[in-house]
Amino acid sequence: MFKRKHLLGIEGLTRDEIDHILDTAQSMVEVSKRSVKKVPALRGKTVVNLFFEPSTRTRISFELAAKRLSADLINFSGSSSSLVKGESFRDTVLNLEAMHPDIFVVRHSQSGSPYYLTTFSKSSVVNAGDGAHEHPTQALLDALTIRQHKGGLDNLKITIVGDILHSRVARSNIFLFSQYNTKVVLAGPPPLVPPEFKNLGVEIEYDLDKAVEGADVVVMLRIQRERQTGSYFPSLREYRKYFQLTTERLKRADKDAIIMHPGPINRGIELMKDIADSDRSVILNQVSNGIAVRMAVLYLISGGSNELNN
């Protein structure tokens, strides 16, 4: 049972806790399908979207999740500011906290920031992405999507492709699947897939053809064009040659394999239209599941904090 006050990451969660969140999320799916998309569960609670890194999709997803639970939500967008540029992170949070929010949803460019927040704030904290560290709700919605299509999370082969080094999505997914009997394979250009990741219990395969062989799920990560200047790979052209998921390559995967992507997609780079819009792609499911998962997390977190207050 998930009873924590914060959701800072997947690392440390037990299989039981993850299952509980996913079960709760599954029951939230229905709320978004009715004509009155609202339940009063979090009525009177205040949720603050504390986004220090620009993000439209995750922010909107959390916003809808909070509102569908009848919570009040405010959006705060700050540039990741250091002492020199303006108000410090700490001051920003303490100022907002003086307005008595219940939950902070935090996205920040620096790893460890949500954890840091818990050291001086009394509110509950949900990590919406901290640097390259974790993005727990993304991993949870990925897991929910996989569960819906595959019946469960055990005995699967999951291949994650792309810029693993800078990906908090990859890390959270790796932590999540380590709790299940599932094989995770990472693929991508070597400078972006350091061998040290093997320490987390995953396999590394630089040949994409081999990496997707027999895969039940293929997760394509977004490659940022800016990484090209860091000499992580020589050109997008070469990236496409070796790491684009083509229909040909996909034939090596399991015949019922599903394709996932955390978004936004670079069409023509990670994926071509033939795959992105095919019926093997569950990318839009991921988006709807995102709201259900975030509703579940907000719901469970607000209950957990009551237990601690008592």
| Contacting positions for other proteins (CB under 8 A) | 1, 3, 11, 20, 23-24, 26-28, 30-31, 34-36, 38-42, 44, 69, 80, 82-83, 88-90, 108-113, 115-116, 130-134, 165, 168, 171, 194, 196-197, 199-200, 296, 299-300, 302-304, 306-307, 310
Local structure of 124: helix, strand or coil: strand
In the three-class reduction of DSSP (H, G, I as helix; E, B as strand; rest coil), residue 256 is classed as coil
From CA 72, how far away is CA 45, in angstroms rounded? 6
- Strand residues in 210-298 grouped as ranges (E): 217-220, 258-260
User: In one letter, which amino acid is 12?
Assistant: G
Helix pair angle (15-29, 136-150), 10° resolution: 70
Q: CA distances (Å), 197 to each of 175, 215, 293, in order?
A: 11, 19, 27
Classified as helix, coil or strand, 298 is helix
Q: Work out how close the CB of 28 gets to other proteins at its nearest, in angstroms, rounded to a whole number.
A: 7
Phi, then psi, of 127 in degrees rounded to 5: -80, 115
**CA gap 304, 148 in Å, rounded:** 26
- CB-based contact 151:22 (threshold 8 Å): no
Structure tokens at 37: 């998309």
Residue 124 to residue 56: CA distance in whole angstroms: 22
Q: Which residues pair with 245 in a beta bridge?
A: 271
Label residue 24 exposed, middle or buried (CB < 10 Å: 0-12, 13-18, 19+).
Answer: middle
* Per-residue 3-state assignment (H helix, E strand, C coil) for 178-231: CCCCCEEEEECCHHHCCHHHHHHCCEECCCHHHHCCCCCEEEECCCCHHHHHHC
**Token match 């009063």: residue?**
40
